[in-house]
């Protein structure tokens, strides 16, 4: 009985084992030893890959890759050496330098104007330090001495020859009054080489448009420069020339005037009727009534409009057909007054022409005349004022 029972149990277990895959039972998992073996295989494979990669990189970098060029070594930084301190010259050497400068500043002056030179030399020799020597201002003393010398020369030359000019550097000053005024601003370095000469003046007329004639703003007595444009170059033909006279074109010499006159005459009762003759522009026209009047009288009005030509008035005055003093009282400086009114009212005739008479040096006259005589060259002349006009000074 017992043996039979055991066989039955074995038969059932075997039946269950065979039926288990059919019923979806999971097969038993791998044992712990199998998992450790698999992890060891993976680690070993990674170690092999690392060794192969390192060996490949070593072979490439050592034998296959070209070596990078080695940059040249940079030069060592230069060490800046401080400049040597200026050597203080001995006192005798400093004195000799200043004395030489004083002598050169006063060189060429007459003895009568060298008193300050001797005083400066004495101060230099008595100085006890280099700083004291360098503090001596010999330049201002030389300015005073040279200006005093030229003042005497200008006054003496003006009494002998009248018109004079002083060429100082690039500037030329004419007439004694102008020269004496400018001397106070010219340094001795320029006065040492200045030249004073008598003016041999010539008078050149220029016919210019308003724009060329400094906008028509010049007046008699103004000092002007004359420039000439040739291509892209501008040169000066006359420097500091004086305006002696101005003529304005006759297009500005016509004046329109109108005058009216009232007359009382015998009429038709308390109110005048009818027409009254009127003169307009040289022709007779009628001014219709009625005109207000008192009883028994009528009032008439005559109006005359006419044009006066200044040129014709001048001819009449020249023929002594006008009362004495008429031109002086009525038309004196008519062109100058017209310029002044235009300037003050800011309205003017842009087409006006001017004939300007300039006083120039004899050395400048030939070049200026050659441009004036050529119509094409004359278009390239231009006048500027080198000094403020009197009306400009009034504005300041």
pLDDT digit string, tens, across residues 13-30? 666 666 655 544 445 555
Domain end (from 306, 323, 340):
323
**Which band of pLDDT confidence, cut at 50, 70 and 90, is reported for residue 282?**
very low
Q: Look up the pTM and report it.
A: 0.46
- Let me know if residue 78 belongs to a domain: no
Q: Is the pLDDT of residue 219 over 80?
A: yes
Q: Kindly report the backbone phi and psi dihedral angles of residue 124, in degrees, each rounded to the nearest multiple of 5, phi listed first.
A: -65, -45
- Nearest Cα to 202, choosing from 371, 355, 356, 360? 360
Spell out the residues 6+ positions from residue 2 whose beta carbon is closer than 8 angstroms to its own: none
305 and 393 within one domain: no
The residue with greater pLDDT, 352 or 146, is 146
361 and 244 within one domain: yes
Domain end (from 280, 302, 323):
323
Q: Give me the number of domains the chain comprises.
A: 3
**Which band of pLDDT confidence, cut at 50, 70 and 90, is reported for residue 305?**
low
Q: Where are the alpha helices (DSSP H) in 84-137?
A: 91-106, 115-126, 130-134
β-pair partners for 198: 164
184 and 259 within one domain: no
Asked if 236 and 225 count as a contact pair (C-beta separation under 8 A), the reply is yes
Using DSSP, state whether 219 is helix, strand or coil.
Answer: coil
Largest CA distance in the chain: 192
β-pair partners for 173: 166
- Let me know if residue 315 belongs to a domain: yes
258 and 242 within one domain: no
290 and 175 within one domain: no
Using DSSP, state whether 13 is helix, strand or coil.
Answer: helix
- Let me know if residue 71 belongs to a domain: no
Q: Is the pLDDT of residue 72 over 70?
A: no
**Which band of pLDDT confidence, cut at 50, 70 and 90, is reported for residue 313?**
low
Tokens for 195, please give them. Answer: 């030249």
Range of 303's domain? Answer: 254-323
363 and 294 within one domain: no
Q: Kindly report the backbone phi and psi dihedral angles of residue 69, in degrees, each rounded to the nearest multiple of 5, phi listed first.
A: -65, 140
- Let me know if residue 135 belongs to a domain: yes
d(C-alpha 24, C-alpha 13), whole Å = 17
Strand 275-280 and strand 297-309: the pairing is parallel
> Could you report the per-residue pLDDT of 102-141, keeping only the tens digit for each?
999 999 999 889 889 999 999 998 888 988 888 999 999 9
Tokens for 23, please give them. Answer: 């019923």
Domain end (from 304, 323, 342):
323
Asked if 301 and 261 count as a contact pair (C-beta separation under 8 A), the reply is yes
């Amino acid at each position: 009985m017992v043996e039979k029972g055991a066989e039955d149990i074995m038969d059932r277990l075997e039946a269950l084992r065979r039926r288990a895959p059919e019923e979806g039972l999971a097969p038993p998992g791998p044992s712990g030893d199998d998992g450790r073996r698999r992890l060891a295989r993976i680690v070993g494979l990674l170690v092999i890959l690392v060794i192969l990669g390192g060996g490949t990189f070593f072979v490439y970098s050592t034998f296959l890759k070209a070596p990078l060029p080695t940059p040249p070594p940079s030069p060592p930084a230069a060490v800046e050496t401080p400049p040597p301190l200026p050597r203080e010259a001995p006192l005798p050497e400093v004195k000799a330098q200043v004395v030489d400068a004083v002598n050169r500043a006063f060189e060429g002056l007459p003895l009568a104007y060298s008193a300050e030179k001797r005083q400066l030399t004495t101060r230099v020799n008595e100085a006890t330090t280099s700083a004291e020597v360098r503090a001596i201002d010999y330049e201002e003393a030389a300015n005073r001495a040279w200006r005093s010398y030229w003042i005497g020369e200008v006054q003496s030359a003006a009494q002998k020859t009248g018109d004079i000019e002083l060429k100082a550097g690039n500037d030329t000053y004419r007439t004694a009054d102008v020269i004496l005024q400018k001397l106070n601003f010219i340094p001795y370095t320029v006065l040492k080489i200045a030249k004073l000469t008598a003016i041999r003046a010539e008078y050149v007329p220029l016919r210019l448009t308003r724009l060329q004639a400094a906008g028509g703003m010049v007046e008699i007595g103004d000092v002007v420069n004359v420039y000439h444009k040739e291509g892209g170059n501008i040169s000066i033909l006359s420097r500091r020339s004086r305006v002696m006279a101005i003529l304005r074109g006759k297009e500005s010499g016509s004046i329109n005037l109108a005058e009216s006159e009232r007359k009382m005459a015998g009429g038709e009762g308390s109110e005048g009727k009818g027409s009254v003759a009127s003169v307009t522009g040289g022709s007779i026209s009628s001014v219709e009534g009625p005109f207000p009047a008192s009883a028994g009288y009528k009032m008439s009005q005559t109006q005359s409009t006419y044009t006066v030509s200044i040129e014709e008035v001048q001819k009449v005055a020249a023929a002594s057909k006008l009362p004495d003093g008429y031109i002086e009282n009525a038309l004196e400086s008519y062109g100058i007054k017209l310029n002044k009114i235009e300037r003050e009212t800011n309205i003017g005739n842009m087409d006006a022409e001017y004939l300007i008479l300039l006083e120039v040096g004899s050395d400048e006259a030939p070049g200026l005349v050659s441009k004036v005589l050529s119509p094409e060259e004359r278009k390239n002349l231009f006048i500027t004022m080198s000094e403020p006009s009197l009306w400009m000074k009034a504005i300041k």
